[in-house]
Structure 1
Amino acid sequence: MKTIRTITLLMGAFVALNACTPKMTFTNSSVVPAAAGTINVKKDKNENYTLNVRVHNLAESKKLTPAKDTYLVWMKQNDNSVKKLGQLSPSGKALTATLTATAVAKPQAVFITAEDNADMLYPAGQTILTTEE
């Protein structure tokens, strides 16, 4: 009886933890077909959301056609407004890039654009990866 209760408690804790940490996956890109990645979203004790973005096989932005200066990560919020989360710089053999950002609102979608400069306030460049279908 104790074993069943312990297993039930552990399963409940596992389900609760997974509910708090949703995982979003980028859809394949026609611009950079090999690029892929995920976003883990976690709610912190202050009711903010921490987003951990990880992508791989993200070609250098200067090798795109047309060439761009940088990749920027954006978050679409409930009210359809867009917030810039930060910049990605792929490196290494796997062309991997990571970003950790905090947001007050829960993300509805996350997307990456190729931009002419990192100072952009709104997305203007080509969408490279997105979690929207």
Structure 2
Amino acid sequence: MVWSFVSCSKNVAFQNSSAVPAAQGNVTVKKDSNKNYLIKIKIANLAEVNRLEPSRNFYVVWMETDEAVIKNIGQIKSDSGFMSSKLKASFETVTSFKPEKIFITAEDHADITTPGTQLILSTSKF
């Protein structure tokens, strides 16, 4: 008997950013045994959020679900705990919603329910 295992993991690169041109990163989405989705983000060369024009306070991570709903799934802190002198950042969360697209905006408040217009990074639809 031959067993075949199909990986339920997707690795998608962020598209080039006009707001932070040097920023590069990727999103990995993996379905776990409980049918939840583990989302991991790694970014390099992400400028401090307060150095943007206009300056903001938070990088907020958003998910577009397979039902076209936009959800705030957390924030990337731009302090020394998450970002090194090489401007690296990472983010990880688990959700029961199936992600179709991930994007990051710069915001004044982290607990907002709709994204602002300052788009930093975005994937294409998975």
TM class, shorter-length? 0.7 to 0.9
SS at the partner of 1:51?
A: strand
Letter of the structure 1 residue corresponding to residue 110 of structure 2: A
Higher helix share: 1
Mind listing any 5+ residue stretches in structure 1 that lack a counterpart?
Answer: 1-7
Deviation at 1:132, TM superposition (A): 2.2
* Alignment match, 1:124: 116
The reply on whether 1:86 has 2:74 as its aligned counterpart is yes
* Alignment match, 2:42: 54
Letter of the structure 2 residue corresponding to residue 105 of structure 1: F
Deviation at 1:47, TM superposition (A): 0.4
Higher RCO (C-alpha under 8 Å, 6+ residues apart)? 2
TM-score (norm 1): 0.84
Deviation at 1:117, TM superposition (A): 1.3
In the TM superposition, structure 1's runs of 4+ consecutive aligned residues that sit over 3 Å from their partners are none
SS at the partner of 1:22?
A: strand
Contact 1:61 1:68 in 2 (8 A): yes
Deviation at 1:105, TM superposition (A): 2.0
* Alignment match, 1:24: 12
Higher strand share: 2
CA distance in 2 between counterparts of 1:106 and 1:122 reads 18
Pick the structure with greater CA Rg: 1
Residue 42 of structure 1, aligned match among 22, 30, 44 = 30
SS at the partner of 2:99?
A: coil
Contact 1:24 1:40 in 2 (8 A): yes
Letter of the structure 2 residue corresponding to residue 111 of structure 1: F
Deviations 1:15-60 (A, max 9, x none): x23xx11111100100100001111111111101000111111100
Deviates more, 1:79-88 or 1:65-74: 79-88
Residue 97 of structure 1, aligned match among 89, 94, 99 = 89
Letter of the structure 2 residue corresponding to residue 62 of structure 1: N
Q: Percent same amino acid among aligned pairs?
A: 39
